[in-house]
Amino acid sequence: MSGSAPKYTVADLLPRIQQNIDNMEYPAAYAFCSKALELDPTNAEILEITGQVEMELERFAEAREHLLAAIHQSPESGYSKYMYLGQLSVEKEAIAAFEKGVDLMLKEHAAAPAGSDDHIMLAAKIASALCSMTEIYLTDLCFEPDAESRCEEYLSKAQQISPETPEVYQLLASVRLSQMRNDDAASALQQSMALWMNKEFGDPAIPIYDSRLSLVRLLLELEMFEQAFTVLEGLQKENDQVVDLWYLYGWAYYCLGEDEQRSPEERQGHWEDARDCLETAVKLFHVIGSDDQAMFEHAQELIASINSVVPPSAPEEEVEVNDEIDSDDDDDAMEM
């Protein structure tokens, strides 16, 4: 009897796909996905997982095609495919995808025992999806006549279902700023920070690094400098090799130097601190790069502005930016 290749079933391939996804071995996962689709091209689960892997591989057109096929096969179960499709879509198409996903999550949330891990997890995911929808109406759909009411509706629902999610109140602050309601924006930020500021490092309640950078931008816009420096110091301890971190440090000190109510000595000191931070941002930009060219140019403009008022001291020996900036020295330099 002649030998033949081993015969796999979709059930055999699913654990292999998931294992490779867990190990971030996406090309290998994709190979198993392709084999599974050959065996069962209308399997909704395989279609969705294939789309997920293709998103990781930046094969967005194929991912969209497979997610839509998964939705066609199973439109009323499985919220995650709608969340993925929302990420691949824009404007009202994205809103429609997120809305359907939220509807399905709400049904699962209602069926889960109150206080259970699933109940809490689904609440957080629903709030996150509602925040994504709000951001679309703050940006791409901001000129729609119902944009403001949509933002209010989504954030109100998010607060009701997941009142412990900092992202909700931070986004609410952005909405209030767009409405020129600065006091309400500041109150929303205080509410957001109160949910995590006293948590130990690594606590899942602490927002991700990029979210906290966005928080600093909002704090600076509202001239909440003390809170901004507190957040920046935490970010610095976590990872000090980030261009945005030092740019925001510099921008904060620059703003303090612009305060005419302070003494000339204080203003000069703040400008000098701003220059040190901005120069670090520029050095890091050259070493590790950044997608934000405008931020880099603004940092250079601020340095030039400071130099016109507070000339730099005699040049010292150049210190290379390496993998480890001396945190103790930086902490000393960051004193207000």
Q: Consecutive sets of 10 residues in the chain, 336 residues long: mean pLDDT of each? A: 65 95 96 96 97 97 98 96 97 98 97 94 97 96 96 98 96 96 98 95 92 98 97 96 97 95 94 97 93 93 94 63 49 48
Which of 135, 138, 225 lies closest to 178, judged by CA? Answer: 138
Give the span between the Cα atoms of 292 and 229, in whole angstroms: 22
pLDDT of residue 327: 46
Instruction: Give the pLDDT of residue 329.
Output: 46
Give the pLDDT of residue 1: 44
Helices and strands: H and E segment counts in the chain: 16, 0
Query: Nearest Cα to 78, choosing from 99, 108, 113, 53?
Result: 108
d(CA 251, CA 121): 37
121 CB-contact burial (10 Å; exposed 0-12 / middle 13-18 / buried 19+): middle
HSE toward the beta carbon, residue 315, CA cutoff 13 A: 4
| Planar angle of CA 336, 316, 334, nearest 5 degrees | 15
What is the pTM (predicted TM-score) of this model? 0.85
pLDDT at 322: 53
Task: Give the model's pLDDT for residue 325.
Answer: 46
**Sign of the dihedral defined by the CA atoms of residues 313, 318, 323, 326, in that order:** negative
At residue 331, the pLDDT reads 52
* pLDDT for res 2: 47
Q: At what angle do helices 44-56 and 60-73 cross, to 10 degrees?
A: 160
Rounded CA-CA distance 170/3 in Å is: 63
How many C-beta neighbours within 10 Å does residue 95 have? Answer: 21
Please report which helix (H) or strand (E) contains residue 14, including its range: helix 10-22
